[in-house]
Amino acid sequence: MGAALPNEATDLIDGLYAGDELTRKELVRLLKLRSKETMAYAAQKADEVRRRIYGTDVYVRGLIEFSSYCKNDCYYCGIRKSNNNADRYRLSKEEILSCCENGYELGYRTFVLQGGEDPYYTDDKICDIVSDIHKLYPDCAITLSIGEKSYESYKRYYDAGARRFLLRHETADNEHYAKLHPESMSPDNRKRCLFDLKEIGYQVGSGFMVGSPYQTSDNLVSDLRFLQELKPDMIGIGPYINHKDTPFAGEKNGTLELTLRLVAVLRLMFPYALIPATTALGTISPNGRELGLKCGANVVMPNLSPVETRKKYDLYENKICTGEEAAECRNCLERRVEFAGYRIVTDIGDVKKHA
Ligand code: 5AD
Ligand code: FES
pLDDT category at 348 given cuts 50, 70, 90 is confident
| pLDDT of the residue at 347 | 83
Looking at ligand 2, which atom is closest to the CA of residue 279? 3
| pLDDT of the residue at 7 | 86
Model confidence at 5: pLDDT above 70: no
Model confidence at 59: pLDDT above 70: yes
Which helix H or strand E contains 300, and what residues bound it?
A: strand 299-300
What is the spatial distance between Cα 292 and Cα 260, in angstroms, rounded to a whole number?
6
Measured from the CB, is residue 63 less than 6 Å from ligand 2? no
| pLDDT of the residue at 354 | 58
What is the spatial distance between Cα 214 and Cα 254, in angstroms, rounded to a whole number?
11
pLDDT category at 4 given cuts 50, 70, 90 is low
Q: Once rounded to an integer, what is the mean pLDDT over residues 321-330?
A: 92
Looking at ligand 1, which atom is closest to the CA of residue 76? 10
Measured from the CB, is residue 313 less than 6 Å from ligand 1? no
209 CA distance to ligand 1 middle (Å): 7
How does pLDDT run across 98-157, given as a tens digit for each residue? Answer: 999 999 999 999 999 999 999 999 999 999 999 999 999 999 999 999 999 999 999 999
73 contact partners, CB below 8 Å, separation of at least 6: 80, 81, 82, 181, 182, 184
Measured from the CB, is residue 324 less than 6 Å from ligand 2? yes
Model confidence at 22: pLDDT above 60: yes
pLDDT category at 88 given cuts 50, 70, 90 is very high
pLDDT category at 2 given cuts 50, 70, 90 is very low
Which of 271, 320, 287 lies closest to 63, judged by CA?
Answer: 320
Closest Cα to atom 18, ligand 1: which residue? 168
Model confidence at 231: pLDDT above 90: yes
Lowest-pLDDT range of 4-13, 185-194, 195-204, 334-343: 4-13
Q: Once rounded to an integer, what is the mean pLDDT over residues 38-42?
A: 96
| Mean pLDDT estimate for the chain | 96
Q: Once rounded to an integer, what is the mean pLDDT over residues 208-214?
A: 98
Measured from the CB, is residue 77 less than 6 Å from ligand 1? yes
Measured from the CB, is residue 325 less than 6 Å from ligand 2? no
281 contact partners, CB below 8 Å, separation of at least 6: 238, 239, 256, 259, 288, 289, 291, 292
Measured from the CB, is residue 170 less than 6 Å from ligand 1? yes
Read off the pTM.
0.96
Model confidence at 1: pLDDT above 50: no
Looking at ligand 2, which atom is closest to the CA of residue 289? 3
Model confidence at 77: pLDDT above 80: yes
